[in-house]
Amino acid sequence: MGALIDNADVVWTAFKMTLWLSVSAGVLSFIWGVMLAAFRVSPIGPLRTFGTVYVNIFRNSPLTLIFLVMLNLAVPVLGLHVGLGVPMAIISLTLYTSTFVCEVVRSGINSVGVGQAEAARSIGLTFFQTLGQIVLPQAFRSVVPPLINVYIAHVKNTSVAAGFAVFELTASAQRLANGNPADVVGVFAGIGLCYLVITIPMGVASQRIERKVAIAR
């Protein structure tokens, strides 16, 4: 641990980077994931097809592969100039995490009783009114605990960026461990603790909400 305390500023910078990746890619994945879920339940065929194909491809690719594709293929194939490092990490994480957000939201939509949507339709609400005022508010309640689990995994997944030139917690563990061979265990335990500081409260929140929702249902 001594090495970590001596290098507290390095660890703090890395910690902020992990937080920044988690939050920025997290927000983007939420927006894109909810859009994908809407695509997948929409009455319009091409949107459904797009949603299904997208989710199946990105859900089944390892995150490392998505990083690798962004790094090596975006420029030569599509001519998209993605900034290396942080912007690339945010885009890759968003492309990946959004598929899980989409699936959680979609199964949440499916978990809302059929009668709810039928009642909404029978009083004359349109598709968007039904979805926006009746189904989604109920779906989000049962969606929150699994969604938090998705985001716990997302926080941990930001570590993949360490392999692609982003200096976040895992990269800092690697650098500090190599610089302080005598204190390797302390460095890794400390960095692990930094992740737990983020992930364990999220897990506790998820369990609390799960219990609350379970009683309400």
Site for another protein in 43-102 (CB under 8 A): 43-47, 49-50, 56-57, 59-65, 68-69, 72-73, 76-79, 100
Question: Considering only residues 8, 27, 31, 185, which one is a binding residue for another protein as defined by CB under 8 A?
Answer: 185
Q: Quick one: which of 90, 104, 139, 166 contacts another protein (CB under 8 A)? A: 104
Which of 22, 29, 98, 159 lies at the binding interface for another protein (CB under 8 A)? 159
Sole window of 7-15, 28-36, 86-94, 141-149 interacting with another protein (rule: CB under 8 A): 141-149
Do 181 and 8 form a contact (C-beta atoms < 8 A)? no
Among candidates 24, 141, 135, which has minimal Cα distance to 89? Answer: 24
Stretch that binds another protein, among 8-16, 24-32, 84-92, 150-158 (CB under 8 A): 150-158
**Tokens matching residue 42:** 């929409």
The footprint of another protein on residues 24-43 (CB under 8 A) is: 41, 43
Binding part of the chain for another protein, among 7-15, 21-29, 87-95, 114-122 by CB under 8 A, reads 114-122
Q: Does 16 bind another protein (CB under 8 A)?
A: no
List, as one string, the DSSP characters of 44-108. -HHHHHHHHHHHHHHHSS-HHHHHHHHHHHIIIII---PPTTHHHHHHHHHHHHHHHHHHHHHHH
Q: What are phi and psi of 96, to 5 degrees?
A: -80, -55
CB of 11 to another protein, least distance (A): 13
Among 22, 30, 51, 103, binds another protein (CB under 8 A): 103
Q: Closest separation between CB of residue 27 and another protein, Å?
A: 18
Instruction: Using CB under 8 A, pick the residue from 2, 8, 192, 208 that binds another protein.
Output: 192
CB of 210 to another protein, least distance (A): 9
Q: What Cα–Cα distance (Å) separates residue 168 from each residue in 44, 53, 62, 70, 96?
A: 41, 32, 20, 19, 19
Percent helix, strand, coil in the chain (nearest 5)?
90, 0, 10
142 near another protein (CB under 8 A) = yes
Which residue in this structure is represented by tokens 């302080």? 180
The only residue of 21, 95, 130, 166 in contact with another protein, by rule CB under 8 A: 130
- The Cα 32–Cα 17 span in angstroms is 22
